[in-house]
């Protein structure tokens, strides 16, 4: 079964085509037959498209479309035409899976796309305005260009549907809970994949106590026991929790009220400030990219050093705060761009957790190996680097949903 995966963001889209059957579901993760990256970030009126195939063909285009739907149409045609062709026709695509950031209270598992599902995704755009509209646009582009192929929405929030009420409900008026104003959590697709991968690396254990740190431009933690999410740092929106690339994470709500009462900042301006001008970017004044922060630190930049120190301080404290929910720690997992590739950050975090008996093998850590245990032999918890593969998890979910008897 050939399954196309669309992982759409506000300014870019990653797409993969997988061949999925019962034989490919176990480890290792198969390479996609075809993968594409569509990016609108570098030039306002230009869409940059890169397409690669399993056979080694790589092509790049600069498109000047009148709409994103036109860009999608061009991207899809590279599947069945030209040098990047990997299928005979659109009919070869059995299903399309989409990452959808927010599923609200209605959708607690992956779901076939129907008109009511589309309506819910659109409605929840008020909570996830950066992501849900792009996710819905991807669904509608497939409808326009591939017709009635089955589509599946895989929700980032669904993984956290196991949160206990004590972790999910905000301590405001009880009416908030009744209105769905609660903590949802995000990065669930990444967490679900990491749970699978850790079991493959360490072996299955039904009660494993694990904290996963998903550290990319967006950052969050999840505390898991037996593979179930019992606590997480993001909440009603992806803004709550850890310091991130350009997002502030949690700050005193009174500070936000103070800024609004001064009358010099609108709600829209405050939203932009917290989501796009804070975090590493806001403190350093340099970038949201940890690699550039680290280069600036090496050059003696004090604001870059402060940004890194705040990031580490908050991350250490948040990891420790996860442990009561799961009763200890058997495994600490680092994943996503920063988590997978930044050895000094992992070292700094684990140094602050040394009182728990958590110890790195520094040589292994410096090498940043993929999908490996980098803990010292005497560490009380295993420490893993896992290369998260959300797209493959989405493909698995499509296969599971569409072939229930397999």
Strands 382-386 and 331-335: parallel
147 with 247, same domain? no
247 with 142, same domain? no
225 with 343, same domain? yes
258 with 355, same domain? yes
63 with 130, same domain? yes
Report the CATH number that the domain containing residue 95 is assigned in CATH.
Answer: 3.30.420.40
Q: Where residue 41 falls among pLDDT bands split at 50, 70, 90?
A: low
- Of 2-6, 32-36, 399-403, least confident by mean pLDDT is 399-403
pLDDT recorded at residue 314:
98
User: Nearest to residue 159, comparing CAs of 228, 206, 113?
Assistant: 228
Q: What is the token pair recorded at 347?
A: 């070292």
264 with 348, same domain? yes
209 with 345, same domain? yes
| Residue 396 placed within a domain | no
Last residue of a domain, one of 126, 155, 184: 155
| Residue 184 placed within a domain | no
How many structural domains comprise the chain? Answer: 2
| Residue 198 placed within a domain | no
Report d(CA 221, CA 318) in Å as an integer: 8
Helix axes 115-123, 132-146, angle to 10 degrees: 150
Cα 134 to Cα 121, 207, 231, 280, 367, distances in angstroms: 10, 37, 27, 25, 36
Q: What is the pLDDT of residues 70-100, one digit of tens each?
A: 888 899 999 999 999 999 999 999 999 999 9
222 with 150, same domain? no
| Residue 100 placed within a domain | yes
11 pLDDT exceeds 80? no
User: Nearest to residue 247, comparing CAs of 288, 271, 275?
Assistant: 275
Q: Residue 220 is part of which domain span?
A: 203-386
| Residue 196 placed within a domain | no
* Residue corresponding to tokens 């059957």: 21
Active site residues: 156
24 pLDDT exceeds 70? no
Q: Where residue 25 falls among pLDDT bands split at 50, 70, 90?
A: low
Per-position DSSP letters for 143-174, written without gaps between them: HHHHTT--EEEEETTGGGGG--HHHHS-SS-H
Q: What is the pLDDT of residues 278-301, one digit of tens each?
A: 999 999 999 999 999 999 999 999
151 with 211, same domain? no
Are 211 and 319 a contacting pair, CB within 8 Å? yes
Report d(CA 131, CA 133) in Å as an integer: 6
Q: What is the pLDDT of residues 158-180, one digit of tens each?
A: 999 999 999 999 999 999 999 98
| Residue 258 placed within a domain | yes
92 with 240, same domain? no
Are 365 and 339 a contacting pair, CB within 8 Å? no
117 with 221, same domain? no
């Amino acid at each position: 079964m050939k399954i196309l995966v669309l992982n759409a963001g506000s300014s870019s889209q990653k797409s993969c085509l997988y061949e999925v059957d019962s034989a490919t579901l176990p480890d290792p993760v198969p390479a996609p037959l075809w993968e594409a990256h569509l990016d609108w970030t570098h030039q306002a009126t230009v869409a940059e498209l890169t397409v690669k195939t399993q056979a080694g063909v790589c092509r790049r285009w600069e498109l000047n479309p009148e709409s994103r739907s036109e860009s999608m149409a061009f991207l899809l045609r590279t599947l069945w035409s030209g040098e990047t062709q990997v299928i005979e026709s659109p009919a070869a695509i059995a299903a399309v899976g989409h990452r959808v950031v927010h599923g609200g209270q209605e959708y607690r598992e992956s779901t076939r796309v129907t008109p009511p599902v589309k309506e819910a995704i659109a409605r929840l755009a008020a909570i996830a305005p950066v992501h849900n509209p792009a996710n819905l646009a991807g669904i509608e582009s497939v409808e326009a260009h591939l017709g009635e192929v089955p589509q599946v929405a895989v929700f980032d929030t669904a993984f956290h549907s196991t949160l206990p009420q004590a972790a999910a409900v905000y301590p405001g008026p009880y009416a908030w809970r009744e209105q769905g104003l609660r903590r949802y959590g995000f990065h669930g697709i990444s967490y679900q994949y990491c749970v699978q991968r850790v079991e493959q690396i360490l072996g299955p254990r039904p009660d494993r106590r694990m904290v996963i740190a998903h550290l990319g431009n967006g950052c969050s933690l999840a505390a898991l026991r037996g593979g179930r999410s019992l606590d997480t740092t993001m909440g009603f929106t992806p803004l709550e929790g850890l310091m991130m690339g350009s997002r502030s994470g949690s700050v005193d709500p009174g500070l936000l009220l103070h800024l609004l009462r001064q009358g010099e900042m609108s709600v829209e301006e405050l939203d932009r400030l917290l989501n796009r001008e804070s975090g590493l970017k806001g403190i350093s004044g340099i970038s949201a990219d940890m690699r550039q922060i680290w280069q600036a630190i090496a050059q003696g930049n004090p604001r870059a050093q402060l940004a890194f120190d705040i990031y580490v301080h908050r991350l250490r404290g948040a990891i420790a705060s996860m442990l009561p929910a799961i009763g200890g720690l058997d495994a600490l997992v680092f994943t996503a761009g920063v988590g997978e590739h930044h050895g000094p950050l992992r070292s700094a975090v684990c140094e602050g957790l040394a009182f728990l008996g958590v110890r790195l093998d520094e040589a292994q850590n410096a090498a940043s190996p993929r999908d490996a245990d980098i803990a010292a032999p005497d560490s009380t918890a295993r420490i893993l680097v896992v290369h998260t593969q959300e797209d493959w998890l989405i493909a698995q979910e499509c296969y599971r949903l569409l072939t229930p008897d397999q």
